[in-house]
Amino acid sequence: MAYKVWNWLLKNWPHFSYDKEALEKLELQFSQNTGSVFGALKHIEDVSKNDLLIEILSNEALKTSEIEGEVLNRESVESSIKKNLGLTVVNRKVPPAEYGIAEMMVDLYRNYNKRLSDEQLFEWHKMLTNGRRDLTDIGKYRTHNSPMQVVSGRLDKPNIHFEAPPSIKIEKEMKQFIVWFNETHFTNTSMLPLVKAGLTHLYFVCIHPFEDGNGRIARALTEKSIAISTGQPTLISLSHTIEIRKKEYYSSLETNNTRLEVTDWLLYLGNTILEAQQNTLKSIDFILEKTKFFDRFKFHLNDRQYKVIQRIFEAGHEGFVGGLSAKNYRTIAKTSESTATRDLKDLTDKKIVIKSGKLKSSRYVLNIKTI
């Protein structure tokens, strides 16, 4: 394999270049989507806004972890987010990883407009690595002498996707990055929002300043960048959108870690951000339809049906994978097969759910327009 010259070794590092005209349509769509999201939010009542906030922050916490191969417990994450937001929750023991990522998401939401600093990054890193015992450097930049590499394949024949600057250079690199971030976002603000967000992500992840957690912090910084540009917390689950096509994300990063002309990366991430905005709009529509749904049907549901339908709504606008089955219904409602069959027939007859398939292949979806 030919020796790769990483972008941080190039003469003009960290001065990235890109084709501004190629991004103009995306930037225009981003501006229009931002207006649509903020406009739609005005129609949601306060209680529903909390539901939306919890859903988006929870999805972001779960998916940014899944991108790195870490699967967390949704209920624990949601409980921690509610607690960090000051909302009433049932006391429960929450694992350190779930509590830490939830704490970071809420801090990002609340303090999006603060100037970036080493201290903020160190706090995020402490939150992310809550409970870890396998790391040398927690809440500070890495200090180990061995190369910081992104590697796959066999131990005896590794495929090196990227090698970051050595630890001895990190303090200088991060000082330069933080100055750039703050000047770009708070002083010289002429750079367009999607460009700021894309460069923030790529620049940070190519420095790879921490022993672990760099991808999650890079995605958080991307959302911080978007929030500063729009003047409000983003309320988009960027990681949820990235995780759907994770291979494309890693491939795009790898393609752009050996050069400073990064139009391809900015187009990829720009389109991903637009898709995340569209998902937020779908979530808002879903919550509005949820309110209308319960206004119409709440007096037509027994306790079991109400419990199951609440659980369906908790799954968001994408719903259960494969739809609700009779088995799902029995599990959620904690009831017998015969009772579940009667309940589902009753819901179908009242046109509260729509049935497809037959016998064990039967599936049910809520009869609302956004599903």
* DSSP characters over 202-267: HHHHHH--SSS-HHHHHHHHHHHHHHHHHTS-----HHHHHHHTHHHHHHHHHHTSS-SB-HHHHH
CA–CA gap between residue 55 and residue 147 (Å, rounded): 38
12-284 CATH: 1.10.3290.10
Instruction: Kindly tell me if the per-residue pLDDT of 231 is higher than 90.
Output: yes
Q: What confidence tens digit (pLDDT) does each residue in 259-277 have?
A: 999 999 999 999 999 999 9
Q: What confidence tens digit (pLDDT) does each residue in 102-148 have?
A: 999 999 999 999 999 999 999 999 999 998 999 999 999 999 999 99
To the nearest whole number, what is the mean pLDDT of the chain?
A: 92
Between CA 234 and CA 305, with CA 313 as vertex, the angle to 5 degrees is 165
Whether residue 146 contacts residue 168, with contact meaning beta carbons closer than 8 Å, is answered with no
Strand, helix or coil for residue 353: strand
Tell me the mean pLDDT in the region 282-288: 84
Domain-by-domain residue ranges, the chain? 12-284, 301-366
Percent of the chain with pLDDT over 90: 73
Bond preceding residue 14 cis, omega within 30 of 0: yes
Tell me the mean pLDDT in the region 135-162: 89
Tell me the mean pLDDT in the region 236-250: 94
| Alpha-carbon separation of residue 115 from 85, 178, 225 (angstroms) | 22, 9, 11
pLDDT of residue 188: 86
Mean pLDDT lowest among 10-14, 226-230, 356-360: 356-360
Tell me the mean pLDDT in the region 189-217: 97
Instruction: Kindly tell me if the per-residue pLDDT of 2 is higher than 80.
Output: no
320 confidence band (pLDDT: 50, 70, 90) = low
Mean pLDDT lowest among 28-32, 140-144, 163-167, 293-297: 293-297
Whether residue 191 contacts residue 149, with contact meaning beta carbons closer than 8 Å, is answered with no
Tell me the mean pLDDT in the region 363-370: 79
pLDDT of residue 369: 66
CA–CA gap between residue 105 and residue 222 (Å, rounded): 13
CA–CA gap between residue 309 and residue 353 (Å, rounded): 10
Strand, helix or coil for residue 154: strand
Whether residue 108 contacts residue 223, with contact meaning beta carbons closer than 8 Å, is answered with yes
172 — phi, psi (to 5°)? -65, -45
Token duo for residue 228: 């500063």
pLDDT of residue 319: 67
Question: Which residue is listed with tokens 């999805």?
Answer: 59
- Give the chain's end-to-end CA distance (angstroms, integer): 48
pLDDT of residue 371: 44
Instruction: Tell me which DSSP letter residue 157 carries.
Output: E
CA–CA gap between residue 293 and residue 7 (Å, rounded): 53
Strand, helix or coil for residue 159: strand
Question: Which residue is listed with tokens 């933080």?
Answer: 178
pLDDT of residue 199: 98
Residue type for 138, please? I
Tell me the mean pLDDT in the region 327-334: 94
pLDDT of residue 140: 97
Tell me the mean pLDDT in the region 330-352: 95
pLDDT of residue 3: 66
Q: What is the pTM of this model?
A: 0.87
pLDDT of residue 321: 67
Q: How many CB atoms lie within 10 A of CB 367?
A: 16
Sequence-separated (6 or more) residues with CB below 8 Å from residue 353:
324, 344, 347, 364, 365, 366, 367
Instruction: Kindly tell me if the per-residue pLDDT of 87 is higher than 60.
Output: yes
CA–CA gap between residue 348 and residue 300 (Å, rounded): 12
pLDDT of residue 310: 87
301-366 CATH: 1.10.10.10
Whether residue 353 contacts residue 367, with contact meaning beta carbons closer than 8 Å, is answered with yes
In the chain, beta strands by DSSP E: 149-154, 157-163, 353-356, 363-366
